[in-house]
Chain A
Amino acid sequence: MRLKTIARKLIPYGAITPLALIVLVAYVGTVLWSIKISLTSSRSLPTDTFVGMTQYAKLFENERWLLSIENLAIYSVLFIVASMVIGFLLAAFIDQKVKAEGVLRTVFLYPYAMSFVATGLVWQWMLTPGIGIENAVRQWGFPNFEFDWIIDQDKVIYTIVIATVWQTSGLVMAMMLAGLRGIDQEIWKATRLDGIPAWRVYLSIILPMMAPTLATVFLLLSTAAIKLFDSVVAMTQGGPGTASEVPAKFIMDHLFGRANIALASAGAVMLLVPVVALLAPYMYARMHARSNARSHATSAVNKKEVPLNKVSRGAT
């Protein structure tokens, strides 16, 4: 009898151990490994010749890296804001009990299901002056129309924003819609009785209630922005020149083509910094919210999860 209770207590630990080990070895382990490599003089093979912070110094003398950081900053802000605004508007639109909701949802969500390596090529064609959108508009009778951002040093990064927002807003819509469906209908009835305009309800009541959804979406978009790579490779290969370089591409180039894994690791470690800076306060807030929720018995997280399942089932 007693043995059984001990076993019962141990089983959960046994079940969680493999996962914990994978997290420790595959995530924490590789992070530590990258930090170690970034402190050595490794080139195509890892070596143990430690050179201190030299690689970091080199990194911040490298014009291409500095440009990548600048591009990432511009991209992240625009990408996150635009995806969230458009995603929310789409969700609010679909939430008006429109006809053929399922079809619309699938249409909006579809871009996310496709690999950007494929769609990036299509975007590249559309944006290339002479053959794409520019040419089409000219043939519609606007011979002086110009849209050559993708070959413009200063504007090329915005074309990447446009293409990736197109891809991501559908997913944001699905998550926002789940959040909207989690709002109690009684609230809508009450605001209607009070005669409050719909936009005001969204702004002052619904959005604050959707805070956990917004936080999740924000976190997803932030990580997507930081690891931006395939879209750039598919659309511009970092060009023209180095105008649309991003840190992830810098790291991949130096890791393989340029056989400089130490510098690449230093870059990777620098990319980890904003992620940790972003994640830490968020995790702290979530943990706080969870312990509060537990004491209140009704959890905002649970409320959100039910309709999310419904939506994803409907969309597939």
Chain B
Amino acid sequence: MAKAEVLHWWTSSSESAAVKTIADAYRKAGGVWVDTAIAGADQARAVAINRIVGGNAPVAAQFNTTKQFQDLVEQNMLNNMDDVAAAEGWDKLLPDTVLNVIRIKGHYYAVPVNLHMQTWFWYSKAAFKKAGIAKEPATIDELFAALDKLKAAGLVGLAHGGQAWQETIVFQAMLANVGGKDLYLKVIRDRDAKAINSDAFKNVLLAFKRMQSYIDAGSPGRNWNDATAMLISGKAGFQIMGDWVKGEFAAAKQTAGKDFGCIAGFNPTAPYLIQGDAFVFPKTTVEPVVRAQKLLAKTLMTPSVQIEFNKLKGSIPIRSDVDTSSMDLCAQTGMAIMKDKSRVLGISEVYLTPDQNGALQDILTAFWNTKMPVEKVQKSIVNALKE
């Protein structure tokens, strides 16, 4: 029996329904699933790391498909899944952005299970109607025009949850759409001081700050789902957020394309910024545990599991070869964009360490909330990303 204790942070109703599909598939494949769900991603990762260091590691633990588990790899605390990766042909199935994260020095250390695109522009059709906006904006100028119209009609242009991480999402959306792919990579991946000090990046920061003029007074401290509720009730026009908001729309019985719309980017070449969840496998040489780890790695990426899991989770499958016809409009739009590999990039956490990303977040939220001159922001970002 391949018994696997799996540590994860999927505790909301849609998330636990989704994880149950994996558990069922694993049982069907002959394994025994032991569920350890811990609420809160930070807490779950802290528990996972403490248990690994303390010698009582779970068989598999959830992390994001980012640099979060890099320290564990460097300290040689994870088993690699090289033979599963070779047998299943991960190199052909997975997007490069994801491969670059899980493949460290030629070895595969994590099994990615899904992709979330973080910088969707969601809009409320009811609010558009009230403000007299006839068609979905197709360029960044049309976006600002639409926001102005919403504001003039007495609606909230941008439903924004004023928390630092949400401000970072708005920033990344602006960097991707106003700055474009090359600038995005130069700033976020290469941490290039010249690019950060450039006028092009200054324009990105100013566009980011301009978004702030469309929020309402109650925004600071608001949760993302409360912001989504403003779209659902037609009080606000736009929200920039990851595709997990689909769960909120679904709970309110609203359908994509009918009640709300989703725009992945305003530029046909705008980066599609992804992030996802993955499982890592703590180091062990105990034969049955290794067998359980490999069975789990294989199960996680089975096409049927991928479809069922991601439909419930609101994300899209990690494999490019699955049939997506049963998924919703936005997921299908996303899958279509994924085919153009040049557009698929990671969110900032994919390229930056958690600490660098946090420092960037601190600067952006300060800029969003105070009257900080844009030149000072550029200087601070150069400093924060220096090492």
The residue among A150, A242, A254, A259 with the most chain B CB atoms within 10 A of its own CB is: A259
Decide yes or no: A129 and B218 within 8 Å by CB, A43-B353, A242-B362, A259-B71 being known contacts.
yes
Query: What's the interface size class on B, roughly?
Result: 20 to 34
Query: CB distance A260 to B75 under 8 Å?
Result: no
Contact residues in A for B218 (Cβ distance below 8 Å): 128-131, 151
Q: Which residue of B lies closest to A64 (CB)?
A: B362
Say yes or no: A240-B358 contact (C-beta < 8 A), given A45-B71, A45-B75: no
Q: Using Cβ atoms and an 8 Å threshold, which residues of chain B touch A243? A: 369-370
Q: Looking at the complex, which one of A44, A241, A253 makes contact with B365 (CB distance below 8 Å)?
A: A241
Min C-beta distance of A234 to chain B, whole Å: 10
Q: Does B354 interact with chain A (Cβ within 8 Å)? A: yes
Q: Quick one: closest A residue to B68, CB to CB?
A: A259
The chain B residue with its CB closest to the CB of A156 is B220
Do A239 and B221 touch (CB < 8 A)? yes
Contacts of B32 in A (CB 8 A): none
Do A153 and B370 form a contact, CB below 8 Å, given A238-B164, A239-B162? Answer: yes
| Candidates A46, A238, A256, A259; contact of B43 at CB < 8 Å | A256
A153 touches B71 (CB 8 A): no
Mask for B162-204, Cβ within 8 A of A = 1, else 0?
A: 1110000000000000000000000000000000000000000
Q: Is the interface of B mostly helix, strand, loop or mixed?
A: helix
Q: Is A258 an interface residue (CB 8 A)?
A: yes
A237, B217: Cβ atoms closer than 8 Å: no
The reply to whether A239 and B220 form a contact with Cβ atoms under 8 Å apart is yes
Which of chain B's residues have a CB closer than 8 A to the CB of A235? Answer: 221
**C-alpha gap A113/B246 in the complex (Å):** 39
A40 to chain B, nearest CB (A): 13
Query: What string of 1s and 0s marks CB contacts (under 8 Å) between B62-77 and chain A?
Result: 0000001001100101
Contact B369 A240 (CB under 8 A): yes
| Chain A count of residues within 8 A CB distance of the other chain | 34
A150 and B221 within 8 A (CB): yes
Q: Quick one: closest B residue to A132, CB to CB? A: B218
**A124 contacts the other chain (Cβ, under 8 Å)?**
yes
| Contact yes or no, B49 A45, CB < 8 A | yes
- Is residue A236 within 8 Å, beta carbon to beta carbon, of the partner chain? yes
Neighbour of B354 across the interface among A46, A150, A259, CB < 8 A? A259
The closest CB in chain B to the CB of A58 belongs to: B387
Q: Does A257 contact B (CB under 8 A)?
A: yes
Which of A47, A131, A150, A241 is within 8 Å of B369, CB to CB? A241
A243 to B369, CA, bound (A): 9
Q: Choose one: A45, A153, A237, A256; the contact of B53 (CB below 8 Å).
A: A45
**B164 & A260 in contact (Cβ 8 Å cutoff):** no
Bound complex: CA A235 to CA B163 (Å)? 12
Does B145 interact with chain A (Cβ within 8 Å)? no
Interface status of A148 (Cβ within 8 A of chain B)? yes
Kindly state the separation between the CA atoms of A258 and B43 in the bound complex, as whole angstroms. Answer: 12
On chain A, the residues within 8 Å of B221 by CB distance are 124, 128, 150-151, 235-237, 239-240
Most interface-central of A63, A237, A242, A257 (chain B CB within 10 A): A257
For A263, the chain B residues whose CB sits under 8 A away are 355
Kindly supply a per-residue 1/0 record for chain B positions 335-354, scoring 1 wherever the CB is within 8 Å of any chain A CB and 0 otherwise.
Answer: 00000000000000000011
- Whether A153 contacts B358 by the Cβ 8 Å rule is no
B163 lies within 8 A of A239 (CB)? yes
User: Which 9 pairs show the lowest CB-CB distances between chains A and B?
Assistant: A241-B369, A240-B220, A258-B358, A44-B71, A151-B220, A259-B354, A260-B355, A256-B42, A240-B369
Query: Could you pull out 30 A-B pairs where Cβ atoms are within 8 angstroms?
Result: A43-B355, A44-B49, A44-B71, A45-B53, A45-B75, A63-B380, A124-B221, A131-B218, A151-B162, A151-B219, A235-B221, A239-B162, A239-B369, A240-B162, A240-B220, A240-B369, A241-B365, A241-B368, A241-B369, A242-B366, A242-B369, A254-B358, A256-B42, A256-B43, A257-B354, A258-B355, A258-B357, A258-B358, A260-B354, A263-B355
- A contact set with B: CB distance below 8 Å: 43-47, 63-64, 124, 128-131, 148, 150-151, 153, 235-243, 253-260, 263
Contacts A45-B77, A255-B46, A259-B71 known; list 11 others, CB within 8 Å. Answer: A43-B71, A44-B71, A63-B362, A150-B220, A151-B218, A151-B219, A235-B221, A240-B162, A242-B362, A256-B43, A259-B353
